[in-house]
Amino acid sequence: MSNERPPWMGVLEALHESERRLGLALDSARMGMWEWDVRSNQSVWNAKEYELLGLPVGEGQVPTDAFFRCIHPEDLTALKESLAAVLRDGSDWSSKYRIIHPGGEVRWLAGAGRVFRDDAGAPQRMLGVNYDITARKQTEAALRDSRAKLAAALASMTDAVSISDVDGRLVEFNHAFATFHRFGSKEECKPTLAEYPALI
């Protein structure tokens, strides 16, 4: 009896190692991974995907509608339309949307995916990832709020006020600054302090 290993054993081991490395990469990136069987409308999720959606980890296939039930009602139509367009046109999918955890917490996710088709060109399955961007969205919202407050404060001042970065580029200034330098509007103002020799 031969002790020689069949050639397919090496291929199988390489496949398992590849899957293990992919799992490690997704875990370290905190990404949920999903595969959607378009024909049966069933999906398979990794453990992180369940966690992102706020659901207990399950096994095997789940109805794809279970994912849609997690989507914020205000984002559901746009999300479904973006997926339908990808299935129809064949482009890669990318979207940002809100989900609602069973406890009521609202989180932001970003998703990306790719469609795989049969020989006739019909969509068979879609493979993709999701990741949480809630912190980024909160930072963006806080930044917008700060800018709005700064703009309101500057607008209320009658003195000419400007803020520049270390390179002398104007970051913000008020209307009084524009009129002081004999510009009709803020849009007409020069973008750098070097263009205001009187200031320097």
Q: How far is CA 35 from the centre of its chain?
A: 18
| pLDDT of 102 | 94
Percent residues over pLDDT 90 in the chain: 47
Average pLDDT over residues 69-85: 96
How many C-beta atoms lie closer than 10 Å to residue 5's C-beta? 9
Does the pLDDT of residue 28 top 50, yes or no?
no
Q: Helices (DSSP H) in 29-64: which residue ranges?
A: 47-53
Give the tokens for residue 91: 């482009």
Percent residues over pLDDT 70 in the chain: 84
- Say if residues 57 and 36 touch (Cβ distance below 8 Å): no
User: Any idea which of 4-13, 15-24, 56-65, 165-174 has the lowest mean pLDDT?
Assistant: 15-24
Angle, CA of 83, 85 and 87, to the nearest 5°: 70
- Say if residues 186 and 173 touch (Cβ distance below 8 Å): yes
The model's confidence at residue 26, banded by pLDDT at 50, 70 and 90, is very low
Does the pLDDT of residue 189 top 70, yes or no?
yes
User: Any idea which of 62-71, 82-91, 156-165 has the lowest mean pLDDT?
Assistant: 156-165
Of the candidates 103, 107, 36, the one whose C-alpha atom is nearest the C-alpha of residue 71 is 107
Average pLDDT over residues 109-136: 93
> What is the three-class DSSP state of 113?
strand
Average pLDDT over residues 157-163: 83
